[in-house]
Chain A
Amino acid sequence: MLLLGTLMHVKQISRSPFEVAIAMVVPIVQATLAVYLFRSGGEQHRLIEAAVGAGLMGVWSSVLFGSGGAIQNQRWQGTLEMIMLAPRRPVLVILPITVATGLTGAYSLLATLAWGRLLYGIRLDFAHPAAFVAAAVVCVVALGMFGLLLASTFVLMRNANALTNALEYPIWLVSGMLVPITVLPAWTGPIAAVLPTTWGARALREATTGGPVWPSAGICLAISLVCLTLGGFAMTYVERRARAAATLALA
C-alpha cells in the first residue's frame, strides 16, 4: 500500500514539466556551486564532500516544497477529498506523497554527483560505497517522514508558503549540508541536533570521507520515527479540523 502509493506519486511528480526543468538545472548549479566554493581548498575529497552536501540540499528543497505543498497540491487537483475518503489512517495516505518527494530529491543528489563528475571531473571515490547507498536511503526515508510532520503543521498555518521559503536556507546551513556544523555559532547546535537532516548529512559525509556511518544513520532514523509518530497524530487532528472547517475542497 505504501509502496504503490509512493510509486504513483513519484510518477505524478516526475512527469510535471516544471519539476523536470528544475531537476535538470538545479543539480548543475549545485555541482558548480560545490566546485567553485571549494576549488580554493583544492583537495579532492573536499570536493566530493561538497558535492554530496550540495546534492543533499536538493533533497531537502524537494522535500520542503513537495511536502509543504503536498496537501495544498492535492487540494488544487481536487484529489485531497478522494484520498481522504479512503478508509485508512490519514498518515498512511499522506506519507507516500512525502516519501515520494524525498525520492525525487534523491535523484537530485545523484544528478549533482553525476554532473560534478562530468563537468568538473570530481573523482567519485567513496570511503564506504555500500554504506553511502544505505545512508542515502535512510536520508530519503527520514526526510519523507520529516516532510510528513511539516505537511501536517503547514496545513494549520495560514502562511505556509512564506514559511516554506523561509525554511529552505537555514536548514541547509544548520544541518551542515554545506559547511561543517563546527564552524557555525554555538546556538545552532541544539537545533541541529534535533533535525534529522543534520544526522543524515553527517552519515552521508562519513560514508564519503570515512568515519562511523551507522551511529549517525541510526540517530537520523530514530529522529525521523519520532517525526512520523508526531506527524501521525498531527494528521489525524488536521483531518478533523479540515472536515470542520471545510478546507478539504477548494471552494
Chain B
Amino acid sequence: MDSDYAIEADQLRRTYRGRSGWLRPRRTEVDAVRGVSFTVRRGELFGLLGPNGAGKTTTIKMLNTLLLPTSGTARVCGHDVVRQTREVRRRIGYVFGGDRGLYERLSALDNLRYFAELYGVSPRDRKRRIAELLDLVGLAGRERERVEGYSRGMRQRLHIARGLLHSPDVLFLDEPSIGVDPVAARELRRTVAELAATGTTVLLTTHYMVEADELCDRIAVIADGQIQALGSPAELRHRADGRRVVEVEAYGVPDTAVSALRGLPGVRETAVEERGALQLLTVQSDAHVDVQGEILRELAGVRLGRVSSREPTLEDAYVAIVNAA
C-alpha cells in the first residue's frame, strides 16, 4: 500500500525532556519541533532550511525512526515511522554532517562491508556496490586505509557512500556538505541531483543557500520548530519581491549605527556579517525607497569599502522569513 508521497509529516511535535543541574536536579523541557506538517512527492528533492537549533535535525530523526515523535504522525513510503519501523528503515538512507559515526580503526572498506551486511545488501551485489560507491565519492584507491587517518572531507564522503549502500528510496541528508571542499561539494551536488533524477526522494538540510537554490524542488524554512514558509526557491524569492538590497563593506561599525539603520524609513532588514577586519552590512529596503544616501549618512565617520545595490537573492528572502518568525 505504497502511497504517492514518499514522506508525509502530520503535526509532528517533539519535546526533549532532560535534567540539568547535578546537586539540585531541575527538569528541563525543550520544544524542539512544534507542529510540523509537509509532504514530499516521490523523486522530489526537498530542502529544509533554518537557523541553528530550529529543529531540522530533530524533524529528520523523527522521520528516519531514530526518535519517537511526542505527538503527530509521519509516514515514509506509506509506512508509519513509529509502528512500521523496520519497513521504513529498509527504504531509507541517512547521512549526517560531521566526522563521527564511523569505525575509526577499521578501513573504509571494512566500514562499508559491515554496514552493507547490516543494511541487508545481498552478498552477491556487495562487492560491486561498494566499488561503485567508492568510485562515486572519490575514495577509490584509499579504501584500505584506516578511517582514523582520513581528513574531515574524506570521512564525509564515506558517510555518503554508506548512506547509499542499499540504494534507498528515500535519502535523508543532514548537512552533507559540511567540511567538503568546493570542488567536491559541487560533485556532491551533482550526485544528489542525479539520484533525484533517477527517482530517489531526497530530504536535505543545509546552511548553504546556493546549494539549496540549485538543488531543491521545494524548500521549507523552519524556525522555532515551526514551518515559516514553504515553496519552490523561486516562490520563496518572491517573498523579497519589491525589495532592494544595499551591501556596504565597512570597518568598525558601532552597534549603535546598525540599530540606527534599522530605524530608517523603508528599511526592512539589516544584517551584519563579520569577515575578518571587514564587516559586511546588508540592508533590505522597499524597492521604491532609495535608502542608500540615508545609510551612508548614518555611517559617516566609519571607514567604508565597496557599496553596492542589487536584486534580492534566496538568501535575502530567507533572512526576511527567519527574522519575521
Contact = CB atoms under 8 A, between A and B. Distances in A.
A77 B104 contact: yes
Nearest to B146: A15
B268 interface: no
Contact of B101 (A11, A79, A87, A240): A79
A85 B94 contact: yes
B101 A86 contact: no
B148 to A, nearest CB: 9
Interface string B268-307: 0000000000000000000000000000000000000000
A158 B64 CA distance: 27
B193 interface: no
A78 B104 CA distance: 11
A78 B100 contact: yes
B89 interface: yes
Interface stretch (B109-117, B130-138, B200-208): B109-117
A81 interface: yes
Contacts of A240: 68
Interface string A1-25: 1001100100110011000000000
A248 B115 CA distance: 18
A205 to B, nearest CB: 35
Given A87-B86, A87-B119, A246-B16, A8 B100 contact: no
Interface in B89-145: 89-90, 92, 94, 98, 100-106, 110, 113-115, 117-120
B104 A244 contact: no
A82 B89 contact: no
Given A5-B114, A85-B64, A86-B118, A12 B106 contact: yes
B156 interface: no
Contacts of B17: 245
A79 B68 contact: no
Most chain A CB within a 10 A radius of its CB, from B66, B89, B118, B146: B118
A8 B110 contact: yes
Contacts of A88: 86, 118, 120
Nearest to B107: A11
Contacts of A15: 105-106, 146
B66 A4 contact: no
B67 interface: yes
A123 interface: no
Contact of B105 (A16, A83, A87): A16
B122 to A, nearest CB: 12
A249 B66 CA distance: 9
A8 B65 CA distance: 25
A243 B101 contact: no
Given A77-B101, A82-B101, A82-B162, A243 B114 contact: no
Contacts of B90: 87
A88 B61 CA distance: 18
A11 B110 contact: yes
Contacts of B115: 82, 86
Contacts of A78: 98, 100-102
Tell me which of B64, B100, B114, B162 has the highest count of chain A C-beta atoms within 10 A of its own C-beta.
Answer: B114
B165 to A, nearest CB: 11
A4 B111 CA distance: 11
Contact of A77 (B16, B92, B100): B100
A93 interface: yes
Contacts of B64: 85
A138 B235 CA distance: 66
Interface string A32-43: 000000000000
Interface of A: 1, 4-5, 8, 11-12, 15-16, 77-79, 81-88, 93, 240, 243-246, 248-249
Interface of B: 16-17, 61, 64-68, 86-87, 89-90, 92, 94, 98, 100-106, 110, 113-115, 117-120, 146, 162
Given A8-B110, A77-B104, A82-B162, 16 more contacts: A8-B103, A8-B113, A11-B110, A12-B104, A12-B105, A77-B100, A78-B102, A79-B103, A82-B94, A82-B115, A83-B118, A86-B118, A88-B120, A240-B68, A246-B16, A249-B66
17 contacts: A1-B117, A4-B117, A5-B114, A11-B110, A15-B105, A15-B146, A77-B101, A78-B100, A79-B102, A81-B66, A81-B94, A86-B115, A86-B120, A87-B87, A87-B89, A87-B90, A243-B65
